[in-house]
Each structure stands twice: as structure tokens, then as C-alpha cells.
Amino acid sequence: MNLPHLHSPAVLDEFKKFILKGNVVSLSTGVIIGSAFNNIVTAFTKGIVEPILAIFGGSNLGTSNWKFQIWEKMTKVTEKVNGTEVTTEKMVPVLLDVGAIVGAVIGFLITAAIVFFIIVKPTNKLLDLVITKDTPPAAMPPDVALLTEIRDMMKRQEEAAGRPTA
């Protein structure tokens, strides 16, 4: 089997084209920006959104007011009592943590809104302005161009004959 050398100019050119493609750059930019927004969104959710939601349901999203028991199971628990380990069986609740889910959904919506309104929307607007200014109008297909020329010629003939045009 004959494999190309990794340091050959053709392979390096192909790799360069791959790296410089717009979607690769956009994806990497999105990952970097997303990770940078993570701390901001977490702080906003914990510092502002959770206290507002706590008005309606308790002290914070992570408290027991936002957790619901869905099951109980028997579990062995090891505890230290007077320096010795004692293993006992206890009924332990299995909890559904709605607060964590609500917090994650709110964090996602905040991140999506920030990315959309601060990055995507302005970029699309800028691209629309650049594309409309720099892009020449699309050339008409030959049959449409011919029909347009015939129509214009007929209008000129009617105007020259003194007939009103529609």
C-alpha cells in the first residue's frame, strides 16, 4: 500500500485548505466563545435568576424545595461511631432534582440568547450589507434577456407611433 508522505506539499496544502474553511473556523470560534460564556451564564443564573425563582419556590434551585422523592431504596451505609466503622442498612430516598434541570435550561437559554443577539444577528446583518454592495446582480438567462429586449423594442415602436403604452 502506497501512502502519501505527511510532509508532502500536496498533503500540507490540503490540510491548509481544510483548516481555513469557514465552517471549521466558525466551529472553533463557537467552542471558544461558548466556554468563555459559561462562567458568565453560571454567575448570572446563580446570582440573579435563582434568587428570583426562589421567591416562588424556596431558597434556591438546589434546595429540597426543588427536589422530589420518586423512590426509596435500601442501602448499606458505613459510618464511624466512636472510632469504629459500623455498617447499617438504611432507607435512602431517590430524588428527582428539578432545580438542576431548570437551572440548566435557563443557562442554555441565556447562552443561546447572548450568542444569537450579540454574535449571529450582527454578523448576518453585516454579511447582508457586504453581499448586497459587492455582489453584482445575477445575469439574466439568455431567453429572459431576449424577451426583455423584444418587449423594450416593442414599447419604443408603440411610443414612436404615438400609441399609449400599458
Q: What is the model's pLDDT at position 22?
A: 63
| 97: β partners | 67
Classify residue 80: in a domain, yes or no.
Answer: no
CA angle 54, 58, 61 (to 5 degrees): 60
Q: What is the model's pLDDT at position 70?
A: 85
Q: What is the model's pLDDT at position 48?
A: 81
Classify residue 56: in a domain, yes or no.
Answer: yes
Q: What is the model's pLDDT at position 146?
A: 84
Classify residue 137: in a domain, yes or no.
Answer: yes
Q: What is the model's pLDDT at position 142?
A: 78
Classify residue 76: in a domain, yes or no.
Answer: no
pTM for the structure as a whole:
0.45
* Count of domains observed in the chain: 1
Q: How does pLDDT run along the chain (166 residues), one tens digit per residue?
A: 555 566 677 888 887 777 666 676 677 777 887 787 778 777 877 788 777 777 776 555 555 467 778 888 888 888 888 888 888 898 888 888 887 787 778 778 877 887 788 878 888 888 888 776 655 556 667 788 888 889 989 899 888 887 665 5
Classify residue 42: in a domain, yes or no.
Answer: yes
Classify residue 88: in a domain, yes or no.
Answer: no
Distance (Å, rounded) from C-alpha 52 to C-alpha 14? Answer: 53
Distance (Å, rounded) from C-alpha 158 to C-alpha 45? Answer: 72
Dump pLDDT digits (tens) for 101-140: 877 787 788 778 877 888 788 888 888 887 766 555 566 6
Q: What is the model's pLDDT at position 17?
A: 75
Distance (Å, rounded) from C-alpha 6 to C-alpha 87? Answer: 60
Classify residue 84: in a domain, yes or no.
Answer: no
Classify residue 79: in a domain, yes or no.
Answer: no
Domain of residue 31, residue span: 9-65+98-160
CATH number at residue 15: 1.10.1200
